[in-house]
Amino acid sequence: MSPSVHESSTPLYGLDAESRQMVLDVVTKIKARLLTRENILEFDRKEIFPEEIIRTLLGPDIGLQLLFIPEAYGGMSGGARDCCALTREMAGVCLGVATAFFAIQLGADPLLVGGTDAQKEKWLGAIAEGRSLVAYAVTEPGAGSNLAALKTKADPICDASGSVTGYRINGSKQFISTGGYADFITLLAVTPEGPSFFVIEKGSGI
Ligand SMILES: Cc1cc2nc3c(=O)[nH]c(=O)nc-3n(C[C@H](O)[C@H](O)[C@H](O)COP(=O)(O)OP(=O)(O)OC[C@H]3O[C@@H](n4cnc5c(N)ncnc54)[C@H](O)[C@@H]3O)c2cc1C
């Protein structure tokens, strides 16, 4: 018989219940201070993306993004259950702001999963410090559920000796939450070796 969740020897990652509750309590304070019903209705009515509020949520006074950043890079090492609990709490206040906020987690994910230590240090560090909005650019007009249809290409640029010095990226992405505001994006493109994520800073030519 397979062990139940509680009997399993696999440790559950993330925060203890008390620490998680402390994070959830922050949402109650945000609701009273920044995401009042009047504010949310105004964002909806005027179709405003509340960039300043999102950046405040990341700033030194609140720092909600620290939940999903590992401790090694300045975060709290929350797990999937903690992130799920925070998303649910924020979505109860404002679905739009919750989506925008968790786009940052999506954007950080390729770095968490596949980044080198130096890349994590640089980019996750920037997110942890609240200096950067990040977006996750995967979906394309012809590639949503079926990512095998991905068309965006990253062609290597080589120097005279044949060493790769950079990539030229061509393609179209759609439905990228906070894509127009992000300081950098993690973007999926097809290289000669297969699909790979690239970190692209705002204003670097795409
Ligand atoms: C609010 C929101 C925010 C988003 N933010 C981002 C973002 O930040 N970054 C990003 O990259 N993308 C983002 N997306 C895009 C999202 O990832 C895609 O919408 C999703 O992958 C589905 O792709 P699609 O819309 O092209 O639909 P399709 O893939 O065309 O699917 C259409 C329908 O067909 C069904 N379907 C597809 N394949 C099959 C199959 N094999 N068998 C049976 N049914 C199937 C699907 O379930 C769906 O109902 C966002 C989407 C939304 C709604």
Q: Give the confidence band of 121 by pLDDT, cuts at 50, 70, 90.
A: very high
Residue 142 CA, ligand 1 centroid: distance in Å: 10
| Residue of the CA atom closest to atom 48 of ligand 1 | 145
Which CATH code of 2.40.110.10, 3.10.180.10, 3.30.565.10, 2.130.10.10 fits the domain covering 136-201? 2.40.110.10
Residue 69 CA, ligand 1 centroid: distance in Å: 26
Pairing of strands 184-191, 194-201: antiparallel
Give the residue extent of every domain in the chain.
17-132, 136-201
**Average pLDDT for the chain:** 92
pLDDT of 73 above 60: yes
Residue 145 CA, ligand 1 centroid: distance in Å: 5
Residue 164 CA, ligand 1 centroid: distance in Å: 34
| Residue of the CA atom closest to atom 12 of ligand 1 | 139
Write out the H or E segment, with its range, that includes residue 152: none
* Domain 136-201 in the same topology as domain 17-132: no
CATH of domain 17-132: 1.10.540.10
| Residue of the CA atom closest to atom 21 of ligand 1 | 144
What's the whole-model pTM score? 0.91
* Helical packing angle, 80-93 and 17-33, nearest 10°: 20
Enter the tokens of residue 62.
Answer: 């609140």
pLDDT of 2 above 60: no
Enter the tokens of residue 101.
Answer: 């906020």
Q: Give the confidence band of 55 by pLDDT, cuts at 50, 70, 90.
A: very high
More confident residue, 5 or 124: 124
Of the given ranges (27-31, 122-126, 144-148, 201-205), which has the lowest mean pLDDT?
201-205
Pairing of strands 134-137, 194-201: unpaired
Residue 183 — left, alpha, or beta (φ > 0 → left; ψ -120 to 50 → alpha)?
alpha
- In this prediction, what percent of the chain has a pLDDT beyond 90? 91
pLDDT of 3 above 90: no
Do the beta carbons of residue 191 and residue 185 sit within 8 Å? no
